[in-house]
Amino acid sequence: MEDEKSVGEEKEEIRRDMLSRLKNQPAADKITKSSKIKDLALKGPFFKKAGVVMFYAATSLEADTSELIRECLRLGKKVALPVADPAKKELIPVAIENIDSLVRNSLGIMEPARAKNKIIPLAQLDLVVVPGLAFDKWGNRLGRGAGYYDRFLAKLSARTMKVGLAFDFQMIDDVPAVDGQDVALDLVISG
């Protein structure tokens, strides 16, 4: 069994490789693949039956989530995006009515304005769409290393579906995971 330091080193190597591949992906490929991922997601029964969905606002390197968010809003679903609380290193799901109202946070990530009356209790989330740099077929994911999503996912109800979105090259044979720290997803949609 690998010790935590070697797992950490392996994770960093995968992060560097994936960030390089994401940065070098042609823009046309990103658009085509994002559209395929969106279509696959919307056909999934978990998307169809989910009433309350939490997305993330994709960075310029990630599979675009904006059309998925717009479609869920159009379908009348309650949509949330995370607001990061850097002091507590946690994510807070906040309802949105319009994707164009997002603002850039201190970490450079787009998020809704934090309003107490818009916070969605975790128990109400039916589906959480999760970002990542790499994924494997067992649902293990590699994030950027701060642990925000792993801490958040660990608090969710077992009934809440956890789904990752990935470009085809982000699917790898094995994402190193640490028991009790890394939280596996239920499904990864790749294109």
115 has pLDDT over 90: no
Set out the domains of the chain in order of their start, with CATH numbers.
4-190 (3.40.50.10420)
Predicted model pTM: 0.92
Q: Tokens at residue 50, please?
A: 């989910």
Which pair of structure tokens corresponds to residue 170?
């982000």
Query: pLDDT tens for residues 41-83?
Result: 999 999 999 999 999 999 999 999 999 999 999 999 999 999 9
Q: What is the pLDDT of residues 87-108, one digit of tens each?
A: 898 999 999 998 888 888 877 7
Torsion angles phi and psi, residue 184, rounded to 5: -80, 150
Provide CB contacts within 8 A for 114, sequence distance 6+. Answer: 83, 92, 94
**Helix ranges restricted to H, the chain:** 4-24, 27-43, 45-49, 66-74, 148-154
Interatomic CA distance for residues 166 and 182, integer angstroms: 18
